[in-house]
Amino acid sequence: MERCSHAKPFCAAAPPRLSRRRQQLSSNATSPAISTSKTRLPGLNKPAKPPPPSLLSRPKLPVPNTSTATDTAGDKDCAKKPPPEATSAPPSSSGAGDVLRLMDALGLPPDEEVYISLLRDCADAAEVAALHAHVACRCGPAGGLPPPLANRVLLSYAACGDIGAARRVFDEMPARNGMAWATMVSAYSDRCFHHDAMRLFVLMMWHGVRDLTDDGFVHAVVAVLRSCIRLRELRLGKQVQALVVKKGRVCGDIGSSLVQLYCESGGLHTRARQVLAMMMQYHCQEPVPEAAWTSLITVCHRNGLLNEAINIFRDMASAGVPRGSFSLSSILAVFAESENHRGYCGQQVHADAMKRGVDTNQFVGSGLVHMYAKQGRLSDAARAFQAIGGKPDAVCWSTMAMAYARGGRYREAARVMHQMRAAGMNPSEAMTDAVRLACFR
């Protein structure tokens, strides 16, 4: 018992002995965190930048008031007014206007070449009006402008479609040269003011304009002949022909316009053939365009003169005129209906088209399919259809389906119609009814 009373009391175990490295780590953990961030140096005081210089005010260019446009037309066909965007135009903020503002701010007066260059870059009537107002402030009204600058202003208004403003510039010119007359006649004809174009051309001839250049004469004559074609004015067209025969200019675009005039007048293909013969006399100066031959072939085909159309095409090939898609497609339509020239003639045209690389054209391909289908050669028609480049149009699909239906291959006809729908084109009701009728037969 005494041993037990003198025993030492129970106490907690001694803490384990740590290494020196761990003691250091534990002491660092219990101590407050030492900031390791570096102290930043105070920034240097940079000198303040001087304020930018004040910009000059942007002056506004004056724009002439074009709301009161005069109407020079006296009939229904020529009672059209200038487009609304040409009559109420805001001040121009384009590149041409910026150039003029910059030159005004720098005190540099623009010369004639600068104005002409800026007028060539104008895209609408508002820009032309702004430049015209700037020119008028510098040089006075249109009557005081130099002829080249006045012609350029007139041409710019006409190209942008503002016929009223173009006519005002034309009327304000004290001395109108040949280029101004030709520009105004062409502008009237291009905008379908055909009566005004013919009146102005007659007035130009009555004034006896002598400084009309070759290009200006060609443009004026082609424009007035185009107006004569649209209005079927054969009387004035014959007078224009007498004028060009007197001047020895029955060639090029003028000759093509005369051929088209007589072809569109109806029953006058003989006169058109005479004009073509006169054009062949001037073949050394200027080759006969393809459009003249194509117009004559088309009118002969329309009147049922198939043999004459074929003879004209032979003359065209003999003259060395390059054949394009329009002439080849026109003669293929003739061969499709001709009973005497089937077979090898159409194959020769097909070979010519392949040689010139136009057999993949849609018009030529459709003509080949139609011709071979009329001849009963469906395999050749299918090959011509597959050779069409790009996406065939509805005419090519319809021609191929009708060829199969008329040839008794009704399943192929139905397959072509389903392929046509799959290509995103719906066959017309007339085509569907024609294919069904051919299948029932």
Q: What is the pLDDT of residue 15?
A: 56
pLDDT at 43 over 60: no
Task: State what percent of residues in the chain have pLDDT above 90.
Answer: 21
pLDDT at position 95 is 67
The 10s digit of each residue's pLDDT in 254-283 is: 999 999 999 888 767 888 888 988 888 876
- Among the ranges given (61-65, 237-241, 401-405), the one the predictor scored with the smallest mean pLDDT: 61-65
- Average of pLDDT values for 137-151? 72
Percent of the chain scored above 70 by pLDDT? Answer: 71
Q: Which pLDDT tens digit goes with each residue over 200-259? A: 999 998 887 766 777 888 899 999 999 999 999 999 999 999 999 988 888 888 999 999
> Is it the case that residue 34 has pLDDT exceeding 60?
no
Entry field: residues in the chain: 441
Write down the domain spans for the chain.
76-175, 348-441
Rounded Cα distance between 399 and 394, Å, is 8
Residue range 154-171: average pLDDT? Answer: 90
pLDDT of residue 62: 46
pLDDT digits (tens, 9 = 90+) for 129-142: 888 887 777 766 55
Q: Which residues contact 83 (CB under 8 A, 6 or more apart)?
A: 125, 161, 162
CA atoms within 13 A on the CB side of 265: 23
pLDDT of the residue at 224: 94
Higher-confidence residue: 383 or 146? Answer: 383
Average pLDDT, the chain: 77
pLDDT value at residue 27: 60
Give the confidence band of 376 by pLDDT, cuts at 50, 70, 90.
confident
- Say if residue 342's pLDDT is above 60: no
Cα-Cα-Cα-Cα torsion 19, 23, 26, 31, nearest 10 degrees, comes to -170
Closest C-alpha among 330, 422, 421 to residue 367:
330
Q: 366-403 burial, b if ≥16 CB within 10 A, otherwise e?
A: bbbbbbbbbbebbebbbebbeebeeebeeebbbbbbbb
344: pLDDT strictly greater than 60: yes
For residue range 290-341, list pLDDT tens digits in order. Answer: 999 999 999 999 888 888 999 999 999 888 888 999 999 999 999 988 876 6
Amino acid identity, position 62: P
